[in-house]
Amino acid sequence: MSTRSSIRVRTYLGAHAHHDVPTAADCFAPAPVVVDDGRTHRGRDAVRAWLDRTSTEYTYTTTPLAAVPHDHRHWTVTQRLEGDFPGGTIDLAHAFALDDGGRIAQLTITPCR
């Protein structure tokens, strides 16, 4: 990722990979929506609780596979996760939508097929 609009996305991904919940949470807009594992988390408190849970539920490493800018506000980042969760390895697509200030307004995480 190389454009200025990708700064929050990179910061979020790095913070989440290092289980740095405060930094990851600061990357989100005031009224974010996160869709992950079939559940929708709306608002900063719900997203913070999701970050807390996903940072401690399993031990895993991430490997970036691709980062595709669709425009200055929309990115899809694909990562491989390997860890102690069921299945052990999964590739996930993270679809980001940023607000006018570059904060993450929406994040949808889905398995790659």
pLDDT tens figures, 7-20? 899 999 999 999 99
Amino acid of residue 88? G
Determine the pLDDT at residue 27: 96
Q: Give the mean pLDDT of 77-90.
A: 95
Determine phi and psi for 66, rounding to 5 degrees.
-160, 150
pLDDT at residue 25 tops 50: yes
Q: Spelled out in words, what is the top-level CATH class assigned to the domain 4-111?
A: alpha beta
Burial class (CB in 10 A: 0-12, 13-18, 19+), 94: buried
Q: Show Cβ contacts of residue 47 under 8 Å, excluding neighbours closer than 6 positions.
A: 25, 28, 32, 34, 41
pLDDT band of 1, cuts 50, 70, 90: very low
Task: Provide mean pLDDT across the span 39-55.
Answer: 96
pLDDT value at position 4?
A: 57
